[in-house]
Amino acid sequence: MQLGKASWMTEELLIVRDSVQKFIAAEIEPHYEAWEQQGIVPRELWNKLGEQGFLAPDMPEQYGGAGGTYEHLAMVIAEFARHGYATIAGSMIGVHSGIVNHYILNNGSEAQKQRYLPAMASGEMVSALAMTEPGAGSDLQGINMTAKRDGNGYVINGAKTFTSNGQHCDMVVVAAKTDTTVAGSKGTSLIIVDKDAAGFSRGRNLDKIGLHSADTSELFFDDVRVDGDALLGPEHCGFAVLMNELPRERLTLAIGSLGALEGALQWTIDYIQERQVFGQPLAKFQNSRFKIAEMMTEARALRAFVDECTLLLSAHQLDTATASMAKLKSSELQGEIIDGCLQLFGGYGYMREFPIGRAFVDARVQRIYGGTSEVMKEIIARDILGR
């Protein structure tokens, strides 16, 4: 029974998967544990990812991309996740390629597209998305960062936290209040800030319980002035832009979760067939057999749902509630399955040299970022039952 076989797989996508596997063997596997110890990946890794076309597989060729579809991006993310490299699958490619690229492609001016997208595709420019604040997490209506009009531009003040790619970023898309006289999501805009803007500074690279090599930072904006052409999308309509992009963002997270749990399942199946206990392989014990049967069934059912959502997104038919279902189910199941897999590894599962242990701690954040499981449930409930 084959894990990771998507219904939308094609010969072309198999070639993409093969190129990711070769890249992992040559450029990631020998170094990843050292990066985990160092707490960050090297900046040149971005350039190597760009050289292979992994940073813009679904971007138009006119903007430096490979001209592929969302399935090309999904394949890249899923394969890095399946091999246990969650930092690259999620924090790097997921944010940079799955989110920021599309914010600019779908909402940016032609000048913004020409300036940022080709450089993002090559890895010359690393992007970040600064939404979360110390007092505002999944509820973006509570943001306090301000961007006040000043002539033809804006002056930005405030702080962001939990920002993926914050240490390496060359530009960051920030959500800020451009009209403080209105409440809630109204009056919010998205603004692009370049790293050399006066008043912009990076705080510490945050120490996390998982994703140790992921660059996750505090960012500070002290009277940062940007020109009016830094506005991404219409003024005061940033929340609407965010909502329009949520299906892609949450499906991308779901694909990462699915890849990770499928990878963990494969490691576990291989391990219990070799590990001897009481004179026979673990795979001969009823508990092991039944547990694998249960987890495989759950994984196959989730695969069918995520594949359906992937095809819906490609057809521009994936709604926010359905994407939220995919994110909710996949992230929760990722935690359950990887926990079950680690148990079958026994004491070795608790050792850092076994990838299942890293997958266990890396999985926990999937139920938090991109909207917590509780927020996903509220979104789904509103779609079914109303407010």
Mark whether 328 and 351 lie in a shared domain. yes
The reported pLDDT for the residue numbered 148 is 96
Q: Where do we find the tokens 């973006």?
A: 140
Do 270 and 146 share a structural domain?
no
The answer to whether position 25 is within a domain reads yes
Of 125, 149, 168, the one marking the end of a domain is 125
In this prediction, residue 139 carries a pLDDT of 63
Looking up residue 205, the CATH number of its domain turns out to be: 2.40.110.10
Q: Which two tokens stand for residue 225?
A: 């002035």
pTM across the whole model? 0.95
Decide which of 125, 142, 158 is a domain's last residue. Answer: 125
Is residue 352 in some structural domain? yes
3-state secondary structure of 166: coil
Q: Identify whether 1 is part of a domain.
A: no
Residue 357 lies in a domain: yes
pLDDT in tens, 47-73: 999 999 999 999 999 999 999 999 999
Got the DSSP string for 13-59? HHHHHHHHHHHIIIIITTTHHHHHHHTS--THHHHHHHHTT-S-TTS
Q: Based on the number of CB atoms within 10 Å of its own CB, is 351 exposed (0-12), middle (13-18) or buried (19 or more)?
A: exposed
214 Rama sector, left if φ>0, alpha if ψ -120 to 50, beta otherwise? beta
Residues 193 and 257 in one domain: no
* Domain-located, residue 258: yes
Cβ-contact 313, 248 below 8 angstroms: yes
Residue 327 lies in a domain: yes
Cα–Cα dist 292/290, whole Å: 5
Residues 92 and 135 in one domain: no
What is the C-alpha to C-alpha distance for residues 381 and 313, in angstroms, rounded to an integer?
21
Instruction: Write out pLDDT tens, residues 338-355.
Output: 999 999 999 999 998 889
Return the ∠ at Cα 186 (arms to 185 and 188), rounded to 5°.
80
Same domain, 81 and 163: no
Give pLDDT, residue 137. Answer: 63
Strand partners, 163: 217
Contact 265, 337 (CB under 8 A): yes
Instruction: Answer whether residue 2 is part of any domain.
Output: no
Does residue 4 fall inside a structural domain? no
> Which of 236, 264, 280 corresponds to the end of one domain?
236
pLDDT, averaged in runs of 10, over the chain (387 residues):
82 96 98 96 98 96 96 97 97 95 96 98 97 76 89 95 96 94 86 97 95 96 96 93 92 97 98 94 96 97 97 95 98 98 96 92 95 95 94
**What is the domain range of residue 228?**
128-236
Quote the longest CA-to-CA distance of the chain: 79
Sign of CA dihedral 270, 274, 276, 282: positive
Give the whole-angstrom CA distance, residue 363 versus residue 358: 8
Q: Which of helix, strand or coil describes residue 264? A: helix
Catalytic residue among 218, 245, 249, 262: 249
Residues 22 and 56 in one domain: yes
Alpha helices in the chain (DSSP H): 11-23, 32-38, 44-51, 70-82, 86, 95, 101-107, 110-122, 238-274, 286-314, 320-345, 355-363, 373-385
Among 172, 119, 166, 175, CA closest to 146: 175
Question: What pLDDT is stored for residue 339 in this prediction?
Answer: 98
The dihedral over CA atoms of 201, 204, 206, 212, expressed in degrees to the nearest 10, equals: 100
User: Any idea of the CA torsion for 62, 67, 70, 74, to the nearest 10 degrees?
Assistant: -110
> What pLDDT, on a 0 to 100 scale, did the predictor assign at position 285?
96
Q: Which residues are CB-neighbours of 256 under 8 A, at least 6 positions away?
A: 77, 78, 81, 86, 89, 90, 94, 366
Both structure tokens of 231: 């506005």
- The number of distinct structural domains making up the chain is 3
Annotation says 33 is catalytic: no
What is the structure's pLDDT at 186?
84
Contact 311, 317 (CB under 8 A): no
pLDDT of residue 281: 96
The pLDDT score that the predictor gives to residue 142 is: 75
Distance, C-alpha 352 to centroid of its chain: 23
pLDDT of residue 1: 57
Q: List the CATH number of the domain containing 377.
A: 1.20.140.10
Enter the tokens of residue 132.
């979360």
Distance CA 93, CA 97 (A): 5
Residues 6+ apart with CB under 8 A from 66: 53, 56, 57, 58, 59, 72
3-state secondary structure of 230: helix
